[in-house]
Amino acid sequence: MVFSWLKKSRDRILAIGWRLFAYEVFNYLFNYPLYIWAMGALGVVNGWLLMATLSLLSCAYLFWRYDRDGVDWLFANAAKEWEAGATEATGWFSKMLVRISKSKTGLTGIGTFIVASINLDPLIVAVHYRDSHFGGVKSYDWFLLSASVVIANLWWGARIGLFVKILEYIF
């Protein structure tokens, strides 16, 4: 029974799998060797400006492709289904996580958005916070993506910049 499901779902699994794999490889190469090189070679400010711009462009392209292709390889719909199912969860911890993840308005929503932007990729944050999936990218969706990219790059630039300065001091 499991094998028949795998056989029927093989194309869908491959479509999601290769996108997710390519996305993770790209993120690793972008966030570590390229970001460190840019800030070390161009200086902290100029390197950060270059990488923040490249981050915005790459996230915008992937955001547009995600919506256009209509394949949920970021599992955003799965996360929304989990949120819906977990509201009836009996555990206080699950209920608290759902309450936090659903906070999209007011001060709690802004704080949640900032924390999510620092800890997750801006593309994932924007996909999670948008109102609908695969219905075309609206101006509010672009605002969410841009805001998340700025927050993430401020945080990441500060971390990498500090690392580069420590390396410069040591060597």
Residue with tokens 């194309």: 11
Sorted by where each begins, the domain ranges of the chain are 2-170
Q: Are 60 and 53 in contact (CB under 8 A)?
A: no
Eight-class DSSP state of 73? T
pLDDT by residue (tens digit) across 45-82?
A: 999 999 999 999 999 999 999 999 888 887 776 666 65
Number of helices (H), then strands (E), in the chain: 8, 0
Where on the phi/psi map is residue 117: left (φ > 0), alpha (ψ -120 to 50), or beta? alpha
Residues in the chain: 171
Nearest by Cα to 153 from 43, 74, 39, 23: 39
pLDDT by residue (tens digit) across 78-125?
A: 666 656 665 555 566 666 666 666 666 655 678 888 988 998 899 989
The pTM of the full predicted model, rounded to 2 decimals, is 0.79
